[in-house]
Structure 1
Amino acid sequence: MQTNLAGKTVLITGAALGIGRATALAFAREGAEVALVDIDRAGVDAVIAEIKALGAKASAGIGDLSTGDGVIGAMGEALKPLGGSLDVLVNNVGSGAVRTFDQLTDEEWDKTFQLNFMSYVRATRVALPILRQKGGVIINNASDLARQPEPVPVDYSASKSAVLALTKGLARAEAPKIRVNAVAPGPIWTPFWSKPGGFAETMGKFHNMPPKQAVEHEMSLRQLPLGRLGEPEEVANVVVFLASDLASFVTSAVWGVDGGSIRSII
């Protein structure tokens, strides 16, 4: 089956590590030209080197995506080498920590929403005028916690639920020229989890366990049918599918890549 993504232009936010990196490489393998947007210049440069080793083209935009100016500046820098062309926007950037409702301040709520939700709003606002010219695809990275929240992290879950509402609203507003879908990953082993101060470390503090043991304990609580954390490439494969002609009749959908964590039939 052919994706027909060769020659397409794709912009990915949060592209330096984890799911973003895996997604950028997956599109490059399909022959797409990839624009990477992130705050981490060294990480982006490393991914660009990998993409070029695959024989594909890549550009970059560097900025703090939790701010309006950061999104606008980074998006403009990344889009410029594409010559004003864009076929696919992947809103992927995000972060979180394990904190209870009582621990969260107003400032922490705002910080979570600025990066996990408003960056999607702002990046989409920049991309839409280009996508509307000839049609295209938007894919938003949400979470299984958007559909099945756990007690922690409630701010992260709420921000990702907002992403799903944005996805559904945009899908109706921009049809039929632009398809808008979301992926909803479950626990995926990426730097999001493993980095200092990431999900694993903060989960360890929450459960009063070493980070790895805390993650294993959390997975047992969630009773994942597949019994393991996912890999970034497993999410990237679904993103590429949704961006391709293979998914030409798919819009306003939420695709779980979660190891079976969601139990609801809707």
Structure 2
Amino acid sequence: METGLKGKVAFITGGANGIGRSTAIAFAKEGAHVGILDIDEAEMQKVAEAAKALGVTVHTAAGDLSTARGVSDGMDKLLAAFGNRIDILVNNVGSGAIRSFDDVDDAAWDATLALNFMSYVRAIRKVLPILREKGGVIVNNASDLARQPEPVPIDYSVSKAAVLSLTKALARAEGPKIRVNAVAPGPIWTPFWTKPGGFAETMGKYHTMEPQAAVEHEMKLRQLPLQRLGEPDEVANVLVFLASDLASFVTSAVWGVDGGSIRSIV
């Protein structure tokens, strides 16, 4: 099937690692030109080279996307590089740690919301004038925890629930020229989990287990039907689909890529 993505311009925040990395490569495989924003310059350049090898144009911008200036400057740099053109925005940047409500002070709440939610708001604000004129697609990366929160991580779950609310509101406000959807991944084995201070390490501290044992314990608690963590490519495939012409009648949707973690029928 033809995705209709060839020649389109897609910006991806948090595109240096994990789901963002796989998404950048997946768009490039479909012939889309790619703009990547991330704080990790070294890994971002590796992704850029891999995407360029597929015959598309790639531009990158480095910055701290938890700050207004980092998002604004990064988006401005990419827009200038692509001649003020964008067709697709994938908001993907995010981070989190396993901690209980009592362990999340005001500074931690602010930090989580700044990166996981406000970066989306700020990136969208930059591209809406262009997309309103020419049409386009926004896809936001949320989480299964936005729809089915667990006791931890509470701040992460709240930030992702806000992403879903933003998605639904914008889909109604910006139709019919702009489609706005979200993916809601479950546990995906990426540096988000494996990095120092990431989900695996902090989950180990929370459950007083070794990281790998803690992850396995958590998956049993969540009773995933597929009984494993997902892979970044499995989320990237859905992100590309939602951005493509194949999903031309899909907007205001939340697509779970979660191994069956969500039990609700609504």
For normalisation by structure 2, the TM-score amounts to 0.99
Unaligned runs of 5+ residues in structure 2 are none
1:131-157 deviation digits (Å, cap 9, x = unpaired): 111100000000000000000000000
Instruction: Provide the rounded CA distance (Å) in 1 between the counterparts of 2:103 and 2:89.
Output: 34
Instruction: Provide the rounded CA distance (Å) in 2 between the counterparts of 1:56 and 1:134.
Output: 22
CA RMSD of aligned residues (A): 0.5
- Find the counterpart in structure 2 of residue 8 from structure 1: 8
- Find the counterpart in structure 1 of residue 72 from structure 2: 72
1:167-201 deviation digits (Å, cap 9, x = unpaired): 00000000000000000000000000000000000
Q: Which moved more, 1:47-56 or 1:32-41?
A: 47-56
1:9-58 deviation digits (Å, cap 9, x = unpaired): 00000000000000000000000000000111111111001011112210
Unaligned runs of 5+ residues in structure 1 are none
State the AA in 1 paired with 2:36.
L
Q: How does 1:101-250 map to 2 (within 5 A)?
A: 101-250=101-250
- Find the counterpart in structure 1 of residue 54 from structure 2: 54
State the AA in 1 paired with 2:236.
A
Alignment coverage as a number of residue pairs: 266
Instruction: Provide the rounded CA distance (Å) in 2 between the counterparts of 1:246 and 1:53.
Output: 25
1:49-80 deviation digits (Å, cap 9, x = unpaired): 10111122100111110010110001111222
Q: What is the SS of the residue equivalent to 2:137?
A: strand
Instruction: Provide the rounded CA distance (Å) in 2 between the counterparts of 1:130 and 1:195.
Output: 36
Point out 4+ residue stretches in structure 1 off by more than 4 angstroms.
none
Q: What is the SS of the residue equivalent to 1:167?
A: helix
For normalisation by structure 1, the TM-score amounts to 0.99
State the AA in 2 paired with 1:44.
M
Instruction: Provide the rounded CA distance (Å) in 1 between the counterparts of 2:171 and 2:103.
Output: 35
Q: Which moved more, 1:125-134 or 1:193-202?
A: 125-134
Aligned residues of 1:61 and 1:76 also touching (Cα < 8 A): no
- How many Å apart are 1:236 and its aligned residue? 0.3
Instruction: Provide the rounded CA distance (Å) in 1 between the counterparts of 2:191 and 2:177.
Output: 35
State the AA in 1 paired with 2:59.
S
- Find the counterpart in structure 1 of residue 92 from structure 2: 92
